């Protein structure tokens, strides 16, 4: 379509409810739209409504439940609602962070899907004035035996590395899990953390009428049109045809955009700023207009689309407004700063054009080829978007797992080998060695130390941020409320284990189709569980993202609410990781062991239990979590431990094995069955619940004799004393476990080298094997 008159006619053509249905607008939404507008919309307007009211942009299924999250504490400067969350980290500085999914695009085109996921989350952070300092990613793939899994892993990892490495932001941590529940919908959740001065934080809000709207970055092309709508629908077989809706990333341009924006932000030129993410120019302009005005009353925007830098010829207003071309920003400038801004962007050879101005009409007004092709009030687009109270049913409770029904393992050593080399537990070195973890020179600890959380120094200071991401979808599937609590508590533990004070989280809620009451029940209960944990732990949600409709042919992913946690370390010399254990150190367990085997790694990998048979997840006692975390943190701060690891999947045995591998020292467990208190279990004494059980709120620490003599619990009558147990020591080069008093033969006697080979071997072998 190149003839201007034809374009205008097509753009202005009045649409029907049948046309709108093709845009994903249902009958109820159509009625609402027409009522609010007082007329039938044209094509451009319909397209704009469809993306603004998509699940992805409007959170129409989750909004009323997301409001249950606590979003404030002493350190929160900006909670949800802006591009990213902002927390006070002292000395006039702020950490700005968010996690976001790029699930649907990554399945269709793994390299570009993952790469643009990284690019998008970086923009969310530097839009607010922060220099990005760390990237984290949480990945879920299908069963390793599924024919697509290997190529998806390769593509996603290459995409994340290809973008992050080039932009020059270290990828410091992450998690990767495999489950057949993700065969048709992988999850790619990327988190970015940035650093800003508190007096130089920029917001989408606050634009006033009469100022120029400035477009910067890449030119607009036809890529990614309707990406937000795609992300709001289920997949079906043959979805690869959607490839044109996946955007293409250019990390080089992103790098220039970061530098240019930060240079401009050092001046007083910008009144409001919004990156062009999902729904591109539409959502960025609408959001700035909606939150504009001195008191947030909203303003209007008028843009001449002919002025938008375009990569292709003959683009229509519809295409320009819905394009999701990457590496673009929209700003409202102060009128006298246009030349200054142009000069800075010219230095970096980036496009920068004034494409319109803010107005006091309250309308989004768009012109193309001299004709008005859109003129609709802004408020209904953003504020009157549907807010559904989707019907939901309470997820069924599972009966406890009776482990005594299953035979005790014949060879505990083989079990340990199998668990430590299973896809979820095996080393992810093959992945993280493809990420630059060290650029920017402040990475104190990354994936290479196998740590619970990455530690990134705050540049030029002696402080650091600890960063982690976590979710155990098996727990959430087993009990979304307790599983949701656990996801938050696990992040809290990870941060505390390295010695950081947990401050706030970002979340990425990945679920199936919310229109199904069963799925909606998991969404609601997981949110409520997470909210409860956030409240008790004073660990609020400051930003996040919801990814629904992760279903293919009616099969949903496991419920996966991923938590990205950030904590503060006041003195970077006072930290702990897994790798500091010394020969002769005692291995001490902090927290109580009840031998909870339900929904455990053991139940899954060794007993082969699935679904209901696997039983419920370990309950989370949040007060206890807080107490134990405070205790561990205080030990780390006082230098009273050599190494720390929280106990999670695979229980004490796997946690200790990981410490042994990281430290290069063997572990000897002394009479484990007797030394760990197992309450409420008739089977107490076989030792398997003590070894593989996944009770919450526990940590293993490696401590020298000199250090323990300084421990507060060793001298006082702290209530922690009863829950602190010496269970073994670090020595030699083997993992040895003695079950009970009088036993002469260890039930596990495994050379560390063999364990390392199995742990390190699985992923590279898998990736290099050809079926």
How many Å apart are CA 532 and CA 488, to the nearest integer?
9
Pairing of β 541-547 and β 443-445? unpaired
Structure tokens belonging to residue 722: 């009863």
**Please, which residue, 251 or 514, has the CB nearer to other proteins?**
251
For residue 221, the minimal CB distance to other proteins (Å) is 17
Residue 239 vs 760, nearer CB to other proteins:
760
**Total number of residues that touch other proteins (CB under 8 A):** 35
> What's the closest the beta carbon of residue 133 comes to other proteins, in angstroms?
11
Q: In the complex, what is the shortest distance from the CB of residue 131 to other proteins, in angstroms, rounded to a whole number? A: 10
Write out the two tokens for 441.
């020179």
Residue 351 contacts other proteins per CB under 8 A: no
Task: Check binding of 439 to other proteins (CB under 8 A).
Answer: yes
Q: Radius of gyration of the chain from Cα atoms?
A: 27
Q: Tokens 């150190």 sit at which residue?
A: 585
Which of 42, 106, 165, 427 binds other proteins (CB under 8 A)? It is 165
Among 268, 438, 517, 761, binds other proteins (CB under 8 A): 438
Mutual angle of helices 517-537 and 480-497, in 10-degree steps: 40
Q: Residue holding tokens 């923009």? A: 123
Under rule CB under 8 A, residue 440 binds other proteins: yes
Do the Cβ atoms of 62 and 548 come closer than 8 Å?
Answer: yes
Q: According to the binding rule CB under 8 A, does residue 437 interact with other proteins? A: yes
Supply the minimum distance, in Å, between the C-beta of residue 329 and other proteins: 17
**Region of 165-173, 180-188, 517-525, 633-641 interacting with other proteins (CB under 8 A):** 165-173
Using CB under 8 A as the binding rule, the residues of this chain from 247 to 286 that contact other proteins are: 250-253, 255-256
Sequence-ordered alpha helix ranges (H) in 538-621: 601-605
448 counts as binding other proteins under rule CB under 8 A: yes
- Taking CB under 8 A as the criterion, the residue among 441, 679, 706, 769 binding other proteins is 441
Nearest to other proteins of 443, 628 (CB atom): 443
- Residues of this chain, 223-242, that bind other proteins according to CB under 8 A: none
H-helix or E-strand spanning residue 36:
helix 27-37
Fill in the per-residue mask, 545 to 584: x = in contact with other proteins (CB under 8 A), - = not in contact: ---------------------------x------------
DSSP letter string over 250-278? Answer: -HHHHHHHHHHHHHHHTTT-EEEEEE--T
What are the residue numbers of the active site?
Answer: 56, 102
Contact residues for 487 (Cβ-Cβ < 8 A; gap 6+): 470, 471, 472, 475, 476, 530, 533, 561, 562, 563
Stretch that binds other proteins, among 162-170, 382-390, 391-399, 553-561 (CB under 8 A): 162-170
Q: Is 24 in the site for other proteins (CB under 8 A)?
A: no
What is the widest separation between alpha-carbon atoms in the chain?
93
CA atoms within 13 A on the CB side of 321: 29
The correct pick among 189, 220, 245, 446 for binding other proteins (CB under 8 A) is 446
Please report whether residue 461 would count as binding other proteins according to CB under 8 A: no
Which residues, 309 to 348, sit near other proteins by CB under 8 A? 347-348
Q: Residue 445 interacts with other proteins (CB under 8 A)?
A: yes
Smallest gap from residue 448 Cβ to other proteins (A): 7
Of 419, 503, 384, residue with least CA distance to 73: 503
Q: Which DSSP symbol is given to 620? A: -
Q: What angle do CA 698, 699, 701 make, to 5 degrees?
A: 155
Torsion of CA 748, 751, 755, 756, to 10 degrees: 160
- 72 part of the interface to other proteins, by CB under 8 A: no
Interface residues with other proteins (CB under 8 A) are: 158, 161-162, 165-168, 250-253, 255-256, 347-349, 432-446, 448-449, 457, 572
């Amino acid at each position: 379509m190149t003839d201007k008159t034809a374009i205008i006619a097509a753009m202005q053509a009045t649409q029907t409810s049948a046309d709108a249905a093709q845009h994903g607008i249902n009958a109820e939404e159509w009625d609402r739209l027409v009522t609010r507008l007082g007329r039938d919309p044209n094509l451009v307007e319909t397209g704009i409504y469809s993306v603004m009211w998509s699940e992805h942009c409007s959170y129409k299924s989750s909004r009323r439940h997301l409001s249950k999250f606590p979003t404030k504490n002493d350190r929160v400067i900006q909670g949800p609602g802006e591009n990213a969350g902002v927390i006070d980290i002292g000395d006039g500085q702020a950490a700005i962070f968010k996690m976001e999914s790029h699930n649907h695009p990554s399945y269709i085109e793994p390299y570009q899907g993952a790469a643009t996921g990284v690019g998008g989350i970086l923009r969310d952070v530097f839009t607010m004035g922060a220099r990005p300092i760390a990237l984290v990613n949480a990945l879920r793939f299908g069963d390793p035996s599924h024919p697509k899994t290997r190529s998806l892993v390769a593509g996603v990892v290459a995409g994340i590395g290809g973008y992050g490495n080039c932009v020059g932001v270290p990828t410091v941590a992450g998690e990767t899990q495999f489950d057949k529940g993700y065969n048709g919908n992988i999850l790619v959740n990327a988190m970015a953390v940035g650093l800003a001065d508190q007096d130089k934080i920029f917001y989408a809000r606050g634009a006033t009428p009469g100022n120029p709207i400035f477009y910067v970055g890449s030119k607009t092309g036809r890529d990614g049109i309707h990406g937000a709508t795609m992300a709001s629908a289920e997949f079906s077989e043959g979805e690869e045809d959607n490839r044109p809706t996946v955007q293409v990333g250019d990390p080089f341009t992103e790098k220039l955009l970061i530098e240019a924006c930060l240079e401009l932000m050092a001046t007083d030129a910008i009144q409001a700023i919004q990156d062009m993410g999902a729904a591109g120019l539409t959502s960025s302009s609408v959001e700035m207009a909606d939150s504009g005005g001195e008191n947030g009353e909203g303003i209007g925007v008028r843009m001449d689309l002919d002025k938008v830098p375009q990569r292709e010829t003959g683009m229509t207003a519809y295409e320009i407004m819905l394009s999701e071309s990457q590496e673009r920003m929209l700003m409202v400038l102060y009128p006298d700063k246009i030349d200054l801004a142009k000069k800075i962007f010219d230095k970096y050879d980036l496009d920068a054009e004034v494409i319109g101005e803010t107005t006091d009409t309250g309308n989004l007004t768009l012109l193309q080829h001299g004709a008005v092709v859109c003129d609709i009030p802004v408020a209904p687009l953003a504020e009157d978007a549907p807010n559904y109270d989707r019907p939901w049913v309470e997820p069924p409770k599972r009966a406890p797992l009776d482990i005594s029904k299953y035979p005790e393992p014949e060879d505990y050593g083989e079990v340990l080998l199998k668990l430590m080399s299973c896809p979820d537990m095996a080393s992810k070195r093959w992945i993280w060695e493809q990420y630059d973890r060290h650029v920017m020179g402040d990475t104190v600890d990354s994936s290479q130390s196998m740590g619970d959380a990455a530690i990134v120094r705050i540049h030029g200071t002696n402080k650091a941020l600890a960063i982690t991401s976590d979710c155990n979808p098996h727990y959430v599937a087993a009990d979304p409320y307790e599983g949701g609590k656990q996801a938050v508590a696990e992040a809290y533990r990870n941060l505390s284990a390295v010695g950081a004070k947990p401050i706030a989280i970002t979340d990425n809620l990945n679920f199936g189709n919310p229109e199904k009451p069963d799925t909606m029940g998991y969404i609601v209960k997981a949110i409520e569980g997470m909210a409860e944990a956030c409240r008790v732990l004073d660990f609020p949600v400051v930003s996040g993202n919801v990814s629904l409709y992760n279903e293919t042919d009616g099969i949903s992913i496991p419920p996966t609410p991923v938590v990205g946690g950030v904590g503060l370390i006041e003195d970077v010399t006072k930290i702990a990781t897994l790798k500091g254990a010394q020969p002769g150190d005692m291995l001490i367990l902090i927290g109580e062991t009840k031998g909870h085997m339900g929904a455990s790694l053991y139940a899954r990998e060794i007993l082969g239990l699935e679904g209901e048979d696997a039983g419920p997840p370990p309950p989370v006692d949040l007060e206890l979590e807080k107490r134990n975390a405070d205790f561990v943190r205080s030990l780390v701060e006082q230098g009273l431990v050599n190494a720390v690891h929280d106990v999670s999947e695979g229980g004490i045995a796997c946690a200790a094995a990981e410490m042994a591998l990281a430290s290069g020292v063997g572990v000897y467990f002394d009479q484990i069955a007797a030394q760990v208190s197992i309450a409420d279990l008739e089977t107490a004494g076989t030792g398997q619940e003590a070894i593989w059980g996944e009770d919450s709120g526990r940590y293993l620490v490696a401590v020298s004799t000199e250090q323990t003599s300084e421990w507060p619990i060793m001298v006082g009558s702290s209530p922690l004393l009863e829950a602190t147990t010496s269970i073994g020591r670090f020595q030699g080069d083997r993992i040895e476990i003695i079950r009970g008093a009088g036993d002469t033969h260890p039930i596990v006697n495994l050379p560390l080298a063999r364990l390392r080979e199995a742990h390190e071997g699985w992923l590279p072998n898998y990736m290099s094997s050809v079926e």
